[in-house]
Amino acid sequence: MYPHFRGTGVALITPFKSNLQVDYGAFKRLLEHLIAAGVEYLVPLGTTGETATISKEEKKEIFTFVMQTVAGRLPLVAGIGGNNTEDILESFRTMEIAGYQAILSVSPYYNKPSQEGIYQHYKKLAAHSPLPIILYNVPSRTGSNITAETTLRLAADCSNIIGIKEASGDFEQCTAILRHKPKGFLVISGDDAITLPLCALGGDGVISVVANAFPEDFGIMTRLCLKGDFAGARPLHNKLADIIRSLFTEGSPSGIKAYLSEMGLVENVCRLPVVPVSEKFQARIRGYLLEYKKN
C-alpha cells in the first residue's frame, strides 16, 4: 500500500550555525545531496534532528522549508512525537505538514507507560492524525518497549497505522511482527547495522542515520537487500560497518555531524546537552573516511 516507504529513508540531522540558529543554507545542501543520491524518502525532526532542543516555531519553519526545498521530488515523513498525548494532537492541528505523506511518532519516553498505555496513546493519535502513522520503537531512548503483541494489535485495529520503525535490536520481536503482521504493514529498521539481516527476514528497509553522509552506497545496499541480492549487498554493508559503529561512540547525532562537517556539508555544531565529538575521536573519524575512500 505504501511502496514509497520501502528502501532508504533518511533521519535528517538539523544543521546549526555557530550561533546555534538553524543553518538553512547547509540544510539545503544536505537535502540536494540526498536527493541526488537517490534515497527513497526523507524524515525531518526525528531523534537525529535534535528535536528535543528545537522550539515549536522552529519546527514549523523546518517542516515548511523541507517541503518547499524538496518540492515533491521525494516523499516526506514528519517526525511528530512526544510523551504528552494531548500535546501531540495539538501539534497535528498546528504544524505545517501539507506536502508530507506520513508521520513518524516515537513511543512516549520517560513516562514508561504500560503496554495498554502505549496502545491507547497510539490509538488516540490514529483517530486524529491527518496522515498515516509509522510507529517508532526505540527502547534505548524511551525507557520502554513496544512489544510485538502491542504492535500487532495496533496494526490490526488502526488502519492508518501503516508500519513501525523498529530499533529494539530484538530479532525475536521483529520476527514475530513480520510473521503475524497484516499484509502491507511496513517493518522498517531503525538501526543501520541490522538493515541487511532485517531485510533478510522480510523487512522493508531502513530509516537511516548513516545515509545522511553516505546515501548512495547505503541506498544501493538496501535496494539490493530488498531484491534478495545479499551477496551483492554484503560488500557495501561491510564497507560501512566501522563508520556505522562509530556514529554512536560519543553520542548521536554528534557522530554523523562529525562526518558531515569533514565532508564540508555542515558546521560541526550541536545544541546542548548534545556536544560535538572530542578532537581525538574526530581524528579517528578522519581515518575512517580515508579508509572508506580507498575502498
Mean per-residue pLDDT for 53-82? 98
Q: Mean pLDDT in the chain? A: 97
Does the pLDDT at position 1 exceed 80? Answer: no
pLDDT at 2: 82
pLDDT at 97 over 80: yes
Which pLDDT score is estimated for 58? 98
pLDDT at 201 over 90: yes
Domain count along the chain: 1
pLDDT of res. 3: 87
The question of whether 165 is a catalytic residue gets the answer yes
pLDDT of residue 295: 81
Residue 255 lies in a domain: no
Domain containing residue 158: CATH number: 3.20.20.70
Chain segment 261-280, per-residue pLDDT in tens: 999 999 999 999 999 999 99
The pLDDT assigned to 92 comes to: 97
Instruction: Exactly one of 165, 181, 257, 259 is catalytic; name it.
Output: 165
Catalytic residue, candidates 100, 109, 122, 136: 136
Determine, yes or no, domain membership for 289.
no
Q: Residue 110 domain-assigned? A: yes
Q: Determine the pLDDT at residue 73.
A: 98
pLDDT at 27: 98
pLDDT for 9: 98
Domain extent for 28? 3-230
Give the pLDDT confidence score for residue 200 in this predicted structure: 97
pLDDT per residue over 217-240, tens digit each? 999 999 999 999 999 999 999 999
Do the domain assignments include residue 278? no
**β-strands 186-189, 161-166 pairing:** parallel
The CA distance from 177 to 230, in Å, is 22
**pLDDT digit string (tens) for 124-164?**
999 999 999 999 999 999 999 999 999 999 999 999 999 99
Residue 15 counted as domain residue: yes
123 is catalytic: no
- Residue 281 within any structural domain of the chain: no
Q: 10 Å Cβ neighbour count for 18?
A: 9
